[in-house]
Amino acid sequence: MDRYAVIGNPIEHSKSPDIHLLFADQTGERLSYEKILTDKDNFSQVVTNFFTNGGKGMNVTVPFKNDACEFVDELTEYAKHAGAVNTIYKNESGNFIGANTDGIGLLRDLKKILRLQLLNKKILVIGAGGATQGIVEPLLNENPSELIIANRTVSKAEAITEQFKSFGKISSCSLTEIPKHSFDLVVHATSAGLQGNNVELPVEIIGLNTCCYDLSYSDQDTPFMQWAKNHNAGKVVDGFGMLLEQAAEAFYLWRGKRPDTGMAYHYFRPDVAQKPHL
């Protein structure tokens, strides 16, 4: 039986084994999927040992996405530009390939579940960490009228803007300089909730049709989602759909089959007839 795994620290909370085993059941594939906990010093050796002992593919989560970038032999275009890898596999030549399916996962969730088209739309991304780097290029490829990255440390936002300026209309600002007009899509891409870092975003960014999307997910609303609901955003969703979609893309890279993410969403969240708060 082919072996797969997700590696991270912490890792106990990961839903990836449940997701990929459901995908395997859907598509008639036989495989195992495990969680691997390690530290930065041992990351490369643990990954090498996994593949040496018959591993076929691996997902990478925090804090090792940059380490994975340095570990692999080749990078896909998205992974190269993002500077981060969340999926590892070997090609026919035996080389380690690093892919990044995060941005693809976000786009598919926005389009398939939310039916949100981004052409000529205004996008605001809160945060300038690794998560933002993974989603900027796919978002810009949809040709929005503007994409603004807002971050407490503006130099980090400026660095990402410089990195991706050739892909489309992108700019940056501090959290206190966010333009006071409504956006079509507001993406919360920081690990800290609004209550945790005492950020109060301008209410003007919310309009009747604004979709507020938190890349994190939880059984309860995140602080950002609560804030968005309190200010009557048109749609308020967490990142669970993105998690499923990026996992499905990784599964496709490994097995050549596309799982049914819609069915998977209802399987894991049976109490939700559709994406919440649409």
Strands 55-60 and 87-90: antiparallel
More confident residue, 55 or 190: 55
H/E segment holding residue 79: helix 77-82
Distance, CA of 102 to CA of 86 (rounded, Å): 8
Q: Are residues 113 and 227 in the same domain?
A: yes
Task: Give, rounded to a whole angstrom, the gap between the first and last alpha carbons of the chain.
Answer: 41
> Range of 85's domain?
2-100+244-268
Q: What is the pLDDT of residues 146-198, one digit of tens each?
A: 999 999 999 999 999 999 999 999 999 999 999 999 999 999 998 765 444 44
Q: For the chain, how many helices (H) and strands (E)?
A: 11, 12
Pair of tokens at residue 40 = 């930065």
Same domain, 193 and 139: yes
The per-residue pLDDT for range 15-39, each reduced to its tens digit, is 999 999 999 999 999 999 999 999 9
Q: What is the set of active-site residues? A: 65
Q: Are residues 120 and 77 in the same domain?
A: no
DSSP string, 108-120: HIIIIIS----TT
Question: Pairing relation of β-strands 185-188 and 211-214?
Answer: parallel
pLDDT tens for each residue of 94-118: 999 999 999 999 999 998 877 889 9
Query: How many domains does the chain divide into?
Result: 2
Q: Is 278 a domain residue?
A: no
* pLDDT tens-place string over residues 188-245: 998 765 444 445 799 999 999 999 999 988 888 989 999 999 999 999 999 999 999 9
Cis? peptide before 259, omega within 30° of 0: no
pLDDT at 130: 83
pLDDT of residue 143: 97
